[in-house]
Homo-oligomer: A and B are copies of this chain.
Amino acid sequence: MPFPQTEVPGRLQAELMSRGLRMTRQRRTILSVVETAKQHLDAAQILRHARKIDPQIDRVTVYRTLALLKRHGLIDELDLMHMQGEKHFYERRPQRDHIHMACLRCGKIMEFESDLFDRLKGQIQRDCQFHIVVTRLEVGGYCSRCRTAKPD
């Protein structure tokens, strides 16, 4: 569910190279992990997956590569309402922004695209004369399966 299947693998690598950045073995590995991820991964999970491909990779390189991708707007950083500690999660930046909903009971993460959200961003840019670079809308609550039995 995280990523649209219409995306071509290797797009991140192509983007970085077109920006004149060096394509190292480690970066290729980390990029492929991020690109093929089936859920939102944190830095430690990305490291673990990358080490299955290249066991020598250091966690510092993962942090640096994620910072690079974020700086170039190729990935988005998520907090997922801090439900799993203070980790940050990452996903390839989609063509269209989406909302992340986190169920406070079962922990499920759902995604939702909305025309109202797009219009809201337009309103912000217009009414506040604010040039939007990145947005993060996270919602905590109870999913349909959990809402009948909410705690206190």
Contact surface of A with B, Cβ cutoff 8 Å:
77, 79, 81-82, 86, 88, 99, 101, 103-104, 110, 112, 114, 116-117, 119-121, 123-124, 127-144, 147, 150
Other-chain contact of A120, B88, B117, B128, B129 (Cβ < 8 Å): B117
Taking chain A's interface residues, is the majority helix, strand, or loop, or is none over half, making it mixed?
mixed
Number of copies: 2
Question: Known contacts being A101-B128, A117-B120, A124-B101, is A139 close to B135, with CB within 8 Å?
Answer: yes
Question: Known contacts being A82-B77, A136-B137, A136-B138, is A101 close to B130, with CB within 8 Å?
Answer: yes
Contact A139 B134 (CB under 8 A): yes
In the complex, what residue of chain B is closest to A110 when comparing beta carbons? B128
Nearest Cβ distance between residue A103 and chain B, in whole angstroms? Answer: 8
4 smallest CB-CB distances across A and B, nearest first, come from A129-B144, A116-B120, A132-B141, A131-B142
Q: Which residues of B contact A138 (CB under 8 A)?
A: 135-137
Contact B134 A137 (CB under 8 A): no
Contact A81 B123 (CB under 8 A): no
Q: Which residues of B contact A121 (CB under 8 A)?
A: 139
Other-chain contact of A130, B110, B117, B130 (Cβ < 8 Å): B110
Question: Known contacts being A101-B124, A124-B101, is A150 close to B131, with CB within 8 Å?
Answer: yes
